[in-house]
Amino acid sequence: MKVYIHSDDKGVKALYYSSSPKILELLRERLPPIAEEIASDTRSRAAEHIRFMGLRPGDYVKSFYSGLSMRQPNKAIAFIRSGEPIARWLENGFTISDMCIFARIAMAMKFVGNDENSISYRLAIHRHMTCVKPYPALGPAFEARRSKIMSMLSGVARDAGQR
């Protein structure tokens, strides 16, 4: 039995390759609960990162999901992913480069403050480069269960030998 555990900016993937049908049957039975446990922990860690409610609050947290892929007959692939681009950005951190926003010709941008009297107009907005530090949710959730995954794998190998 060969085991590959791969983590990238799209998610965590564990690939188990075996020619034994007993091992594959046991893996397909025991992998989904662990993958869902990691996804659930990832969602709770992701909820801790939310500081401001945007246009779609909760989409980032709900985007994490787990599954079991059985595309090839001799492989069992468990994965935890997110379809939201912000999940990748927050997992690894990102940089917003310098930018300038200019108003159209003969126009100005209007900004209204907290009260009606604080109105200002700008012809241009200059924003300096910003570095956003990583707020990982998926990596720590996976690392917290690494020993559980390894003990499950040794149990699968032991149980497959006894059957």
What was the pLDDT predicted at 56?
67
Per-residue pLDDT of the chain (163 residues; tens, 9 = 90+): 566 666 665 666 666 666 678 888 888 888 889 999 999 999 999 888 877 666 666 788 888 999 888 777 777 888 888 888 888 888 888 888 888 877 776 677 777 777 767 777 777 778 888 888 888 888 898 889 988 988 888 888 888 875 5
pTM of the model: 0.72
Query: Domain limits of the chain?
Result: 2-82+137-162, 94-132
How are the residues of the chain apportioned to helix, strand and coil, as percentages rounded to the nearest 5?
Answer: 40, 30, 30
What was the pLDDT predicted at 37?
93
Sign of CA dihedral 148, 66, 8, 131: negative
Q: How far is CA 25 from the centre of its chain?
A: 28
Task: Enumerate helices (H) and strands (E) in the chain, giving the number of each.
Answer: 5, 10
Distance, CA of 96 to CA of 5 (rounded, Å): 31
Distance, CA of 118 to CA of 116 (rounded, Å): 6
**Residue holding tokens 């007959």?**
73
